[in-house]
Amino acid sequence: MTLSFKTLAIALGTLSTASSVIALQNGVGKLPVMGYNAWNVFQCNVNESLIIQTAQYMKEYGLLDVGYKYINLDDCWAMKNRSSTGEVVSDTTRFPDMKNLTDQLHALGFYAGIYSDSGWFTCAGYPGSFMHEEQDALTFQFWGFDFLKYDNCAIPFDGVISEGIVGKYQRMTDALATVAEKTGTTFVFSLCEWGWNQVWLWGASMGHSWRIDGDIGPYWSSIARIINSVSFITQATNYYGRNDPDMLEIGNGDLTYEEAKTHFTAWALMKAPLLIGTNLATISSEMLSILKNTEIIAINQDPVYGTSISPFRWGINPDWTSNASFPAQYWSGQSQNGTLIMLINTIDEPADMFFNLTESPWIRAGRQYTVRDLWTHTSNGTAVRNFTAKNVAPHGVAALLLQDGGDEPVGLMPPCAGEAATQCMAENGTKYY
């Protein structure tokens, strides 16, 4: 099993800055996690055989090869009661030997993830880790797990916990740091706090990622709601931690192919964890192709730029408008290979989507840009000052990579483009506005 400074790579307050820098150089935990979580499809109906079969599908379908390396358990894996000495115990029928499970996953080339809760119980009523943090962390380490998703149900009374939500999560952060010191093994630590307490402000001091909204559903209104929530906090994402908009519903429920593309594009370009929540035994080849878009995955896993794309214009609504049904439509960001543009058509009919290049802060004035479509994998020509994505599907997306193509043609008027045109002036004072 590969050991890494996963939790510790997130600049934990319990470790020195020097240790954090070394941890980031290790590489694991620096980039968003990619993998699988069984909850959205199977919920409590999971067992060792299903998890191993899922891992085998991941290999067979080439998902491991394109970067999906984590197979994570969610709730319901435990017995309802702890042992007489306080240890959490895996279900003796469904998960009779957790060490055997993680050994099998590691042998297949995956990391293994497990789930617990910061309260008395998990959300499904199994033992939580409150007041057992170090004991549970040592158990998870002994079993061979590499990842811990940590939920927020069954919160102890204020008089018991005597601290806020930050302190409740800090307890496990400290426990994981102690286990790392004792054993040399660390975890990717994923906080599932749902954003109620502005977790994006403090989550980077504790974990790899933090949930920013309620549970996702396999329908467009849920995807739109979460994109709206993320649009206001994109600045929180970088190599030290990232907003987690929940699992990928590609192939589930009522999502159309175009909606699924939008879902995947937004999650990937926001630099969110990419955790598949689909029944791989029944997924269509069309939906599988979305999950395997290596040009989109390369943006998510960019080792040079770790920040999220952000809106540069809301579109239908005035800028900074919160609208769960019609979120921000025009987004941009940096990548090692050029400027990213994401255009989301939030209405129910096809639409042309126009923007001035310099609306993105990452575009240089006076330059022209070649345009690559990250879904058709083709060139869309050269953009000079502006670009229109034609006929974007209802609830669909255009994902574009703009690369500098040299000076724009001479003689264009006005001599300043976009917003600069309102203050355009020559050196001699001549106004062009």
Is residue 14 included in any domain, yes or no? no
- 270 plus 326 within the same structural domain: no
Count: domains in the chain: 2
Query: What gap in Å lies between CA 249 and CA 261, rounded to an integer?
Result: 11
- Residues 290, 340, single domain; the answer is no
Q: Is residue 194 part of a domain?
A: yes
Please confirm whether the linkage preceding 156 is cis (ω < 30° from 0): no
What is the CATH classification number for the domain harbouring 195?
3.20.20.70
Determine the structural domain holding residue 336 and report its residue range: 310-407
Q: Are residues 324 and 214 in the same domain?
A: no
Tell me the two tokens of residue 263. 């879902």
138 and 234 housed in the same domain: yes
pLDDT, position 392: 98
Does residue 204 share a domain with residue 287? yes
User: 174 and 321 in one domain?
Assistant: no
Residue 201 one-letter amino acid:
L
- Give the mean pLDDT per block of 10 residues along the chain (433 residues): 32 30 52 96 96 98 98 98 97 98 98 98 98 98 97 94 92 95 92 92 93 95 98 96 97 96 98 97 97 98 97 97 98 98 98 97 96 97 97 98 96 88 92 88
Single out the residue in 277, 301, 325 at which a domain terminates.
301
| Same structural domain, 183 and 287 | yes
What Cα–Cα distance (Å) separates residue 209 from each residue in 138, 223, 309, 396?
21, 19, 16, 27
- pLDDT at res. 118: 97
Quote the DSSP letter at residue 367. E
Asked, for residue 415, whether it belongs to a domain, the answer is no
Residues 220 and 317 in one domain: no
Both 397 and 250 in one domain: the answer is no
Is 414 within a domain? no
Final residue belonging to a domain, choices 281, 301, 321: 301
pLDDT at site 290: 98
What distance in Å separates the CA atoms of residue 27 and residue 16, rounded to the nearest whole number?
18
Q: What is the pTM of this model?
A: 0.92
Q: Is residue 251 domain-shared with residue 365, that is, in the same domain?
A: no
- The set of catalytic residues is 151, 215
DSSP conformation letters of 296-364:
HHHHHT-SS--PPPEEEE-SSSPTT---SSS---EEEEEETTEEEEEEE--SSS-EEEEEEGGGSTTSP
Distance CA 119, CA 85 (A): 19
Q: Say yes or no: 395 and 251 in one domain.
A: no
Quick one: 282 and 339 in the same domain? no
